[in-house]
Structure formats: C-alpha cells, structure tokens
Amino acid sequence: MPKKKVNVGIVGMGIGKPNALAITRHAQGHVAALCDLDEGRMAEFAVELPGEVKTYTDYKAMCKDPELDAIFVGTPNQLHVPVALEAVRRDKHVMVTKPLADSERAAWRL
C-alpha cells in the first residue's frame, strides 16, 4: 500500500525555497502551497515545483487550508512565532527555520 504524501505549505520565499526543494525530493513530500507577499516571486517558484501548487499572500488563509498537513515557516525571525502559532491553532504540523523565536519569551509562547 503506497504511503500518503505529506502536503506542506511554505511561508516565506527566501529560505523557504531551498527547503521546499528538499521536501519535494522526499518520496512522501509534496509542496502543496506557497505563501509570500511577493506574488511574482511565488509564481516564478511555483512552476519549478511538481504538481498543483496553491499560492497565498495571507498565511492565516493558508493555514486554514484543510488539504495541508504541515507548514514550514521561513519568514523573518520576528514572524516565526505568530505564523507557527496560527499553524498550531489549525492543527498543522510545524517546521520552523532557526532561530525558533526572536526572544526566549516568544519561544515559550510557542
């Protein structure tokens, strides 16, 4: 029986791009959505990915997508915790690039 693909949403097209490519190299990884404020950058990158890729400019809207299993957070450091918390609230698995947070207090919130 084939294993289910893990549908991942990527927030942030900076460090998110190389991580998205790494996810696609895994047999069970599928980048199903991208989120960035720069729609042009997302569109350029989406064509490099296999399969259908949704695009969002609002991470909260992306986190509501019932087809996503996990969210990779590759935003500027001060946004790691707010984005990750939204994903957790929506019952998504979360991966965050380092540092986890921009302060110890923010890390404890997460």
The pLDDT tens digits of the residues spanning 29-50 come to 999 999 999 999 999 999 999 9
Identify the domain containing residue 31 by its residue range: 6-109
User: For the whole model, what pTM was predicted?
Assistant: 0.94
**For the chain, how many structural domains are there in total?**
1
Domain annotation covers residue 68: yes
- Give the CATH number for residue 82: 3.40.50.720
Residue 1 has pLDDT above 70, yes or no: no
Domain annotation covers residue 1: no
| pLDDT tens, position by position, 54-67 | 999 999 999 999 99
Domain annotation covers residue 18: yes
The pLDDT value given to residue 34 = 98
Apex 94 CA angle, 92 and 97, nearest 5: 160
- pLDDT mean over 12-18: 95
Domain annotation covers residue 101: yes
Per-position DSSP letters for the chain, written without gaps between them: -PPPPEEEEEE-SSTHHHHHHHHHHSTTEEEEEEE-S-HHHHHHHHTTSSS--EEES-HHHHHT-TT--EEEE-S-GGGHHHHHHHHHHTT-EEEEPSSS-SSHHHHHH-
